[in-house]
Amino acid sequence: MYKHILVAVDGSDNSMRALQEAIHLKSKVTLLSVVSAEDAKDAVLHYQEDSIMHRKHQLAHMISLLEDTNIQYELLVVHGEVCETIIKTSQSGNYDLLVIGSRGLNRFQEAVIGSVSKRIIREVKIPVLVVK
């Protein structure tokens, strides 16, 4: 059904659930992890290593899961603004489905800080699976 799935991940439990759902579809997976300016600053201040290398280290358990299930995958770690980068990447023409995790914000939190998944659903042109 889907040949190539883009899965937006950040190493969180929510993105792990998104990856697990994508694995059930038995398609090629691209893990997209966006390193924002704030993430990069945090990596420099606390970990003293390159932010992209730090993110790859954070995603090691996800890569291990893909390898254990024999799912063909690639890892794409890029600097940028999270929503913009996910939207732009999903619209590159290479993907049949975007899978993202939901943080599960309550209505007040969503009104105050917004919802990444809500914006992505609104702007992405390919099918989107939001995993709670």
19, burial (CB in 10 Å: exposed 0-12, middle 13-18, buried 19+): buried
In this predicted model, what pLDDT tens digit does every residue of 12-31 receive, in sequence order?
A: 888 999 999 999 999 999 99
Query: Which of 87, 77, 93 has the alpha carbon at shortest distance from 128?
Result: 87
- pTM score, whole prediction: 0.85
Across 99-126, average pLDDT: 73
Tokens describing residue 91: 């619209």
Query: Which of 76, 6, 82, 5 has the alpha carbon at shortest distance from 39?
Result: 82
- Is the pLDDT at 2 greater than 70? The verdict is yes
Domain 4-131 falls under CATH 3.40.50.720:
no
Alpha helices in the chain (DSSP H): 13-24, 37-42, 51-58, 60-68, 82-90, 107-113, 116-123
Q: Is 75 within 8 Å of 59 (Cβ atoms)?
A: yes
In this predicted model, what pLDDT tens digit does every residue of 27-50 receive, in sequence order?
A: 999 999 998 766 545 544 444 456
pLDDT > 70: percent of the chain: 80
Q: Is 21 within 8 Å of 97 (Cβ atoms)?
A: no
- Is the pLDDT at 75 greater than 60? The verdict is yes
Count CA atoms closer than 13 A to 35's CA, side-chain side: 21
Count of other CB atoms within 10 angstroms of residue 63: 14
